[in-house]
Amino acid sequence: MQATTQLIHSIPVDPLTGAVSVPIYQTSTFVQEAPGINKGFDYSRTNNPTRATLEDLIAQLEGGQVGIAFSSGLAAIDAVAKLLRPGDEIVAVDDIYGGAYRLFTQVYQQFGVTINFVDTTDPEKVFNAITPNTKLIWLETPTNPTLKISDIEAIAQIAKASHCLLCVDNTFASPALQQPLLLGADIVVHSATKYLGGHSDLIAGLVVTKEKELGAKLKFYQNACGAILAPFDSWLVIRGIETLHLRVQQHCRSAQEVAEWLQQHPAVDKVYYPGLKDHPNHEIAKKQSKGFGGIVSFSLKQDSAEAATAFVTSTQLFKLAESLGGIKSLVSHPASMTHKTIPAEKRRAAGVTDSLIRLSIGLEDAGDLLQDLQQALEKTNTIVKTTAAEAVPC
């Protein structure tokens, strides 16, 4: 059976009423027959039927044993970080998601956890960064916003040989394209806020573990710390996942078209998209994922923050906003938005130049998206020229 068919039929019909949509069990507690004797649920922080359906669904999609749904992607990452003890070290991808960077360096570092950032596109660099104290390798692939790809299988082997866990933040790819657990990773985390939810209408996080025991540990932390996903939001994520494969296929198709179009545009300098043959990690992306995703980044020939600002305020269909993975196309300027707190020199060295622009390709008609990009690039050119002319003293 194909994954899409399996997915649609893995969402159970309600055994009580026959409802084809999972009921939203909006309840805090469950009546018990006698102390400790219940129908499998006693209190919704610990377990809730709607959330449990989502948790089983994501575990199945990622090919893992245990799924856990959190109130945000960062809460999911936080639960994984709680596996560490003072003195432990993390080896992490160098262009890590900003929120994970803040969590590791500003929260966990004060509890005695050390983070080493390396260029994980080279597995040898990962290997060389590992010390006897390394307990966790943290990957994102593709990364944000320059879409670097790391070889999950090669790094999983290094993790195994070094007796540390490999966790992959699979937000950008989604399980429709990439299943890290099947490539040897131990844990997958998601910001379900993005492709899994898919409609920019909720904040949610998911964790999936390959092994039951590790899943039980993380479930313990969730119940002990309390960052659960509410029943209604769980239902919304289930509803999003039901169309995940279809949406992601279309995101990929349009993103490829946009990337190729940008590449031939005279106002555009570099285009970052793993589906382009000249992307430095194109072959690894092809090997480990079924598609190249819906995010495209590019820089302008006119490499200034002014030009980038002119562009991101000139698009009509692409709305200027943080986040990604929804049905509506979004545009963002990492240097002044998501990556603002990173020192300029460090930021530029990582490829996040002043004019770098990130697009989240939505589900609009691809031709309409190209037209919007064309008019915005023309307008940018006019604005930049006018500003330059005004700056010249008479």
Q: Which residues bind ligand PLP (CB under 6 A)?
A: 72-74, 97, 99-100, 140, 144, 169, 171-172, 191, 193-194, 203, 205
Catalytic residue (one of 88, 151, 169, 372): 169
Residue 172 CB, shortest distance to ligand PLP, in Å, is 6
Ramachandran class of 223: left when φ > 0, alpha when ψ lies in -120 to 50, beta otherwise: alpha
In the chain, count H helices and then E strands: 13, 12
169 classed as catalytic: yes
CB 219 within 8 A of CB 262: no
Q: Which two tokens stand for residue 144?
A: 């944000």
Would you report the helix, strand and coil content of the chain in percent, each value rounded to 5?
Answer: 40, 15, 45
Q: Residue number with the shortest CB distance to ligand PLP? A: 73
Nearer to ligand PLP, 195 or 298 (CB): 195
Nearer to ligand PLP, 255 or 377 (CB): 255
Residue 221 CB, shortest distance to ligand PLP, in Å, is 17
Question: Is 265 exposed, middle or buried (CB count within 10 Å of its CB: 0-12, 13-18, 19+)?
Answer: middle
Nearer to ligand PLP, 203 or 370 (CB): 203
Q: Report how far apart, in Å, the C-alpha atoms of 262 and of each of 84, 259, 272, 299, 369 are.
A: 43, 5, 10, 10, 12
287 classed as catalytic: no
Residue 245 CB, shortest distance to ligand PLP, in Å, is 20
221 classed as catalytic: no
45 classed as catalytic: yes
Catalytic residue (one of 25, 97, 195, 273): 97
From CA 240, how far away is CA 208, in angstroms rounded?
18
Residue 320 CB, shortest distance to ligand PLP, in Å, is 17
Nearer to ligand PLP, 204 or 268 (CB): 204
Residue 169 CB, shortest distance to ligand PLP, in Å, is 5
Question: Is 5 exposed, middle or buried (CB count within 10 Å of its CB: 0-12, 13-18, 19+)?
Answer: exposed
Catalytic residue (one of 51, 194, 219, 239): 194
Catalytic residues: 45, 97, 169, 194
